[in-house]
Chain A
Amino acid sequence: MAVKSNLTNMVTVLGLTCLLCSAILGGAYVLTKEPIDKAAAEKTNQAISQVLPHFTEVEYNEEGRYYTAKDADALVGYAIESTTVGFGGALSLIVGVTPDGVVYNTSVLSHSETPGLGAKCTTDQKFMSQWKGFNPAVKKLSVTKDGGDVDAITASTITSRAYALAVENALNTFNKIQGGQDNE
């Protein structure tokens, strides 16, 4: 260490380091901002296209946490975000609902369920496919153990219940959206 530890030296070196580092990071932030935004937008778009039929434009409603998807002015449906508590923590879904009130499809945004048990809600074909075209007017939205029509994942009733509840919440949001529009 050739440089002495006096106050001027310490302040200068520390100050210069901080300045240089923040300059580098500021530059990097500006450069990566576009790809980051693009990646985030792509992710949202992909999530929505998984749960709704073909659409050309989406609009996000911050307050209700839902996306309105349109295909050349015709309403395709709503992609509604919904979070409940599963076995291991928050379980976030995106639920696609078509204007007639039928669930088009669902997809898990994030979860912290037990790997191999509750986490099967993202891989179990039998469990996932029953949400395609789920009509709440015909079927009862709770797991078979509770007298409903949803087949739970084996050994993961709590996760399945949370999943059903999330879908129910999303449908409630949908009814609110519909109700709001009727009043207008």
Chain B
Amino acid sequence: MEYFLIIISAIFVNNIVLAQFLGICPFLGVSNKLSTASGMSMAVCFVITLATLVTYLINKYLLIPFGITFLQTIAFILVIAALVQMVEIVLKKVSPSLYQALGIFLPLITTNCAVLGVAINVVTKEFAFVPGGMLNLGQALVYAFATSLGYGLAMVIFAGIREHLALNDVPKAFKGVPIAIISVGILALAFMGFSGMVK
């Protein structure tokens, strides 16, 4: 039951882009075409889940026992940067086809605040529907995975909208990013309908 709540809440109610405002830069940057948008979502999904696993363990077995949680930010970002680099190298060797699909997005992910945001959220935020408030490792992974699914969902919906927007005649000052952001606003309004769903 908790897992179900975590998944619904992470995908719909607290959608990472539309409600938490994380990972907006790549969201606006690569959502021009449906194909790149889905490629980016997959890469983000992969990295967020992996990064959450590693940072969760580091936080629990290194930072907390030694009382140096104030180094959290610096430790997490280094881990994420190293991890992204490593994923890139491994993918290149092991699965060239997957590397072709995700490769160009990987370097962008280090500075995607969604990754660091989820990693920090998982170890600091209290979740009301989880007994005790803090997530355990399994719940953290489910949360991370579901959050990145929410990211993918928002990304794909938005890319679809944007492909249609490109064909429309909009006033000059609205062209490009402004009309895109306004459409995200309307999309966010729709997602607000989900709030209050998880009790």
Chain B residues within an 8 Å CB radius of A92: 126
CB distance from B100 to the nearest CB of A (A): 27
When chains A and B are docked, how far (Å) is the Cα of A86 from the Cα of B197? 11
Other-chain contact of A21, B74, B128, B199 (Cβ < 8 Å): B74
Query: Which residue, B74, B127, B199, has most C-beta atoms of chain A within 10 A?
Result: B199
Per-residue interface assignment for chain A, residues 81 to 112, with 1 indicating a CB less than 8 Å from any chain B CB and 0 otherwise: 00111111111100000000000000000000
Asked whether A128 is an interface residue with its Cβ less than 8 Å from the other chain, the reply is no
Range of interface residues on A (Cβ < 8 Å)? 10 to 19
Cβ < 8 Å to B, chain A residues 9-35: 21-22, 25, 29
Residues of B132-180 at the interface with A, using a CB-CB cut-off of 8 Å, are: 133
Interface pair A25/B74, CB less than 8 Å apart = yes
**B118-135 contact mask (Cβ, 8 Å, vs A): 1 or 0:** 000000001111000100
With a CB–CB cut-off of 8 A, which chain B residues contact A89? 14, 128
From the candidates B127, B128, B129, name the one contacting A91 in the complex (CB within 8 A): B128
Does A58 sit within 8 A of B, measured CB to CB?
A: no
Contact A114 B74 (CB under 8 A): no
Is B71 engaged at the interface, CB distance under 8 Å to the other chain?
A: yes
Q: Is A158 an interface residue (CB 8 A)?
A: yes
Given contacts A114-B195, A158-B196, contact A90 B126 (CB under 8 A): yes
Q: Which one of A85, A114, A158 lies within 8 Å of B129 (CB-CB)?
A: A85
**List of B residues within 8 angstroms of A88 by Cβ:** 195-196
Complex CA–CA separation, A86 to B196 (angstroms): 8
Q: Which residues of A contact B133 (CB under 8 A)?
A: 83, 90
Residues of B close to A21: CB separation below 8 A: 74
Q: Is the interface of A mostly helix, strand, loop or mixed?
A: mixed
**Contact call A29/B70, Cβ cutoff below 8 A:** yes
Say how far B132's CB is from chain A's closest CB, in angstroms: 10
Known: A21-B74, A22-B71, A25-B74. A85 touches B196 (CB 8 A): no
User: Using a CB-CB cutoff of 8 Å, which residues 1-36 of chain B contact chain A?
Assistant: 14
Contact among B71, B128, B196, B198 for A83, CB-based, below 8 A = B128
For this complex, into which size category does the number of interface residues on chain B fall? 10 to 19
Number of A-B contacts (CB under 8 A): 30
**Which A residues, 137 to 153, have Cβ-Cβ distances below 8 Å to chain B?**
none
Residue of A nearest to B128 (CB): A90
Closest residue of chain B to A22, judged by CB? B71
A87–B196 touching, CB < 8 Å? yes
Q: How far is the CB of B43 from chain A (nearest CB, A)?
A: 26
Known: A90-B127, A91-B128. A85 touches B199 (CB 8 A): yes
Question: A25-B70, A25-B71, A25-B74 known; A83 and B129 CB under 8 Å?
Answer: no
Task: Please report the C-alpha to C-alpha distance between residue A134 and residue B53 in the assembled complex, in whole angstroms.
Answer: 46
Complex: how many Å from CA A71 to CA B71? 39
The docked-state distance in angstroms from the alpha carbon of A87 to that of B126 is: 15
B170 to chain A, nearest CB (A): 31
Chain A residues near B126 (CB-CB < 8 A): 83, 90, 92
Q: Which residues of B contact A91 (CB under 8 A)?
A: 128
Alpha-carbon distance A87/B74, docked complex (angstroms): 34
What string of 1s and 0s marks CB contacts (under 8 Å) between B61-87 and chain A? Answer: 000000000110010000000000000
Nearest 10 Cβ contacts at the A-B interface: A90-B128, A85-B128, A87-B196, A29-B70, A90-B126, A89-B128, A85-B199, A85-B129, A83-B128, A88-B195
A residues bordering B, Cβ < 8 Å? 21-22, 25, 29, 83-92, 114, 158
Can you give 15 contacting A-B residue pairs, CB < 8 Å?
Answer: A21-B74, A22-B71, A25-B70, A25-B71, A29-B70, A83-B128, A84-B128, A85-B128, A85-B129, A86-B128, A88-B196, A89-B128, A90-B128, A90-B133, A158-B199
